[in-house]
A and B are shown apart, each in its own frame.
Chain A
Amino acid sequence: MQNIGLVLLLAFGFSVLGLMVFIWSMSKDFFGSKSGAGANVIFGAHEIGLVEDPAVSNTSELQHDVGDTDASMSVQEIKDRQLADASSALPAFAWITGGVVWLVLASLAGLISSIKLHQPDWLVDQAWLTFGRLRVIHLTGVGYGWSSMVGIGVALWMIPRLLKTPLIGAKYALVGALIWNLGVILGENAIAQGYSSGMEWLEIPSQIGVLFVIGGALAAIPLFQTFANRKVDHLYVSVWYIGGALIWFPILYAIANIPGLGAGVQGAAMNWWFGHNVLGLWFTPLALATAYYFIPKVLGKPIYSYNLSLLGFWSLAFFYSQVGGHHLIGGPLPTWLITLSIVQSVMMIIPVYAVAVNHHMTVGGNFKAVIHSPTLRFIVLGSMLYVAASVQGSMEAIRSVNQITHFTHFTVAHAHLGNYGFFTMIMFGAIYFIMPRVVDWEWPYPWMISAHFWLVTIGFATYFIGLSIGGWLQGEYMLDAARPFMDSVKVTIPYLQARSVGGSLMLIGHIVFATHFFLLALRYGSSKSEVVLGAPLIDKLSKKKAKGA
């Protein structure tokens, strides 16, 4: 037993060394002679310096925040971008709309579940409304409904812009959205009726889960077709994240659904290999791809360090993929497996550091723009919470901390910091940018964007702070042998109530958001023409036209 530690350490040392060599060789390829070019690939030839956020009501103000500029786009570039945006509009709309509907339904299920934890005799007569089913309906709805659908939708929309090539085969993605949606509907029904598989994150029966594989594959077809016909040489960092995510998810989901793999304690290892990878190799890369595109694009400023983003990508993939065992610390599993996961969890500091520095250095000095741009407001907050969630996750994997937080609501709060504070906030920001381009219409009521932001931010802060304190106390009480177990239940009640208050604000925020979303889709309010690509661009475009005439 003693030499396991040494052997593990050696294995770990070798893998990190290998990773470093790998990244070094990659960076040689990318930056040998054309250093920095990769970061500029998302801009037109003379576009750097020009802001873009179709969600702002006053583009010149945003431009002023960042600094006035002579930068411009050629008429051809603008036409190309309009073509690119038009090519992805329909499939992006289908996937995102599905996501928004599931967000509202799943938050409602979450809120009812939350209330049930302090009102245990509420809504108990129907089997499908019992906590143990409704909680899964919530998780499945936000995971496979909202997060997956909006993530794919935003990725589909970004791809033509990242590759400067109109999306090829949009119809496949459209059919994919319908099939995926059907999968969520059937999956939620199966859970409501008690046909859960029994494993966390994998509750949907495999017979229905196969629809996700088909729907996801159909969404991937246009991505890879466009990839093959692309007009840019450089693959921007967002493309790696999207490509990685689309390769990883089907493999993860297919392996996890192999019959018999859930049996025994080895089933628990598989379960959390999947459970954490669906976060680390599916949701996280989709949201990081989004942040890596929109932060520089809105500001008109290339990402700070392209090398750092490279390091971030490969170290995220490597370390994150092995952290699953930290959900089983103290459990009846082989020690080596859990130790491996703890070590890799702590190593997650590296990719997180890469993203944190990169985003901070890009946004730095432009905080006025963050206030004025709805897109940035959500995405920068999401990026900051990504760092917080990841550092917290690394800490929670350490045995002494895990001893307290394991089995408590603290973990639930942490999960929401990741999937809500980080992922969902970034997706809100992206939707505010994307939808005016999809519908060719401005957001009708800017006050609704503000209301949405403050409702979900205050609501989530209440949720997170309340539940974290409650969970920590719960853990300490549980470890205190002098206290009866019931003390660890009773101490959480006020904090569970706080969670319901925060959750209510979040749900109201989501209803405001969804209402605004559908008002935009129905083209309510008065559109201003500047929404097409932003006022300064249109000015320049018309000036050039005048010159040409």
Chain B
Amino acid sequence: MSGVINEKKIVLGALAIIAFATVALVVLPYMQLKELAAPESLKPYTDQQTLGRKVYIANGCIYCHSQQPRDANLGPDGKRGWGRPSVAADYVYDKVHLLGTMRTGPDLFNIGARQPSADWHLGHLYQPRAYTPGSIMPAFPFLFEARKGPAITGEVAVVLPPAYTKPGVTIIATQDALNLVEYLKGMDHTYKIKKTVKESFDKLNDVSGKKETQ
């Protein structure tokens, strides 16, 4: 019995196992899903929405908010107004996926449909508790500028509930805040998924299920 064989077995065994896992969890899903067509009603992100998405990533919104309403048999997501169960095709324009794993706050996949008002979003980002009592979402004052005096033309002033305003102080949204709100408002996946999209997905599902065993 030689030690060399043992070393080879460890290295080759380790490589074979990681290769198997990589094929199953990375390569096959990639092959299966890379050509998936976007639903007709889903529009690519605008430049401003893309910038807003960066603000969403930079500030870690994903650590409390998912973007994946589930089927009715898994939870009352639909009843909470979070939308129909999402499908893979809904995400084709997402350059980095933001599915999320926590729901410390609600799912945001259709927040644009639930809250279409930019004023609401801006005020809520500035002080969540002004709109949702008991909310534990952080306030994001650093996305705003508090100024004594009125807003200059072209600037967007935040409309807050009276209890949260200070006399003479105007809260002005930064470009980051405006971009983020543009992204959130665009989060609307309430369009119907055509049968064809669903079918093509199921078909793909079937094919790769067989591939898996080859």
A20 interface residue per 8 A CB criterion: no
Pick the interface stretch among B12-20, B42-50, B148-156: B12-20
Say yes or no: A22 contacts B13, CB within 8 Å: yes
Say yes or no: B96 contacts A330, CB within 8 Å: no
Would you give the 0/1 interface string for A28-63, flagging 1 where the beta carbon is closer than 8 Å to chain B? 011011100000000000000000000000000000
Q: Which of A4, A125, A196, A271 contacts B58 (CB 8 A)?
A: A196
Say yes or no: B75 contacts A10, CB within 8 Å: no
Q: Which of A30, A196, A478 contacts B60 (CB 8 A)?
A: A196
- Given the contacts A263-B97, A264-B88, A337 and B30 also touching, CB distance less than 8 Å: no
Set of chain A residues within 8 Å of B95, measured between Cβ atoms: 262-263
Would you give the 0/1 interface string for A196-212, flagging 1 where the beta carbon is closer than 8 Å to chain B? 11111000000000000
Set of chain A residues within 8 Å of B60, measured between Cβ atoms: 130-133, 135-136, 196
Would you give the 0/1 interface string for A1-21, flagging 1 where the beta carbon is closer than 8 Å to chain B? 101100110110011000000
B10 interface residue per 8 A CB criterion: yes
Residue of B nearest to A119 (CB): B136
- Given the contacts A273-B21, A273-B25, A322-B25, A267 and B96 also touching, CB distance less than 8 Å: yes
Say yes or no: B103 contacts A408, CB within 8 Å: yes
A525 interface residue per 8 A CB criterion: no
Say yes or no: B15 contacts A29, CB within 8 Å: no
Kindly state the separation between the CA atoms of A314 and B17 in the bound complex, as whole angstroms: 9
What is the minimal beta-carbon distance from A278 to any residue of chain B, in angstroms? 12
Q: Which of B13, B55, B66, B90 contacts A407 (CB 8 A)?
A: B66
Q: Which of B17, B59, B128, B139 contacts A318 (CB 8 A)?
A: B17
Say yes or no: A336 contacts B99, CB within 8 Å: no
Chain A contributes a number of interface residues (CB within 8 A of B) equal to 103
Set of chain B residues within 8 Å of A3, measured between Cβ atoms: 209
B134 interface residue per 8 A CB criterion: yes
Q: Which of B1, B58, B71 contacts A194 (CB 8 A)?
A: B58
Kindly state the separation between the CA atoms of A322 and B18 in the bound complex, as whole angstroms: 9
What is the minimal beta-carbon distance from A465 to any residue of chain B, in angstroms? 20
Say yes or no: A268 contacts B18, CB within 8 Å: no
Set of chain B residues within 8 Å of A227, measured between Cβ atoms: 7
Would you give the 0/1 interface string for B63-86, flagging 1 where the beta carbon is closer than 8 Å to chain A? 110101011001110011000011
Q: Which of A194, A199, A332, A406 contacts B88 (CB 8 A)?
A: A332
Say yes or no: A198 contacts B59, CB within 8 Å: no
Set of chain B residues within 8 Å of A327, measured between Cβ atoms: 101
Residue of B nearest to A127 (CB): B142
Set of chain B residues within 8 Å of A235, measured between Cβ atoms: 3, 6-7, 10
Say yes or no: A479 contacts B58, CB within 8 Å: no
- Given the contacts A120-B137, A263-B97, A322 and B80 also touching, CB distance less than 8 Å: no
Residue of B nearest to A328 (CB): B99
A126 interface residue per 8 A CB criterion: yes
Set of chain B residues within 8 Å of A408, measured between Cβ atoms: 102-103
Chain B contributes a number of interface residues (CB within 8 A of A) equal to 84
Say yes or no: A337 contacts B17, CB within 8 Å: no
For chain A, what secondary structure do more than half of its interface residues adopt (helix, strand, loop), or is it mixed? helix
A181 interface residue per 8 A CB criterion: no
Pick the interface stretch among A215-223, A246-254, A388-396, A528-536: A246-254
Would you give the 0/1 interface string for B16-42, flagging 1 where the beta carbon is closer than 8 Å to chain A? 011011101110111011101000000
B5 interface residue per 8 A CB criterion: yes
Set of chain A residues within 8 Å of B24, measured between Cβ atoms: 322, 337, 340
* B interface residues (Cβ-Cβ under 8 A, vs A): 1, 3, 5-7, 9-11, 13-15, 17-18, 20-22, 24-26, 28-30, 32-34, 36, 55, 57-64, 66, 68, 70-71, 74-76, 79-80, 85-88, 90-92, 94-99, 101-106, 128-129, 132, 134-142, 202, 204-206, 208-210, 212-213
The 5 A-B pairs of least Cβ separation, nearest first, read A132-B60, A194-B58, A481-B76, A321-B21, A407-B103
Sampled A-B contacts (13; CB under 8 Å):
A10-B213, A15-B20, A130-B60, A132-B59, A132-B61, A248-B14, A263-B97, A271-B97, A314-B13, A327-B101, A328-B99, A332-B85, A403-B75
* A interface residues (Cβ-Cβ under 8 A, vs B): 1, 3-4, 7-8, 10-11, 14-15, 22, 26, 29-30, 32-34, 116-118, 120-121, 124-127, 130-133, 135-136, 194-200, 227, 230, 233-235, 240, 243-244, 247-248, 251-252, 255, 261-273, 277, 281, 314, 317-318, 321-322, 324-325, 327-328, 330-337, 340-341, 403, 406-409, 411-412, 478-481, 485-486, 488-490, 493, 496
Known: A270-B25, A336-B209, A486-B135. 16 other contacts (CB 8 A): A26-B9, A29-B1, A132-B59, A132-B138, A200-B62, A230-B3, A261-B30, A264-B33, A264-B34, A265-B99, A266-B26, A270-B29, A273-B26, A411-B101, A412-B102, A481-B79
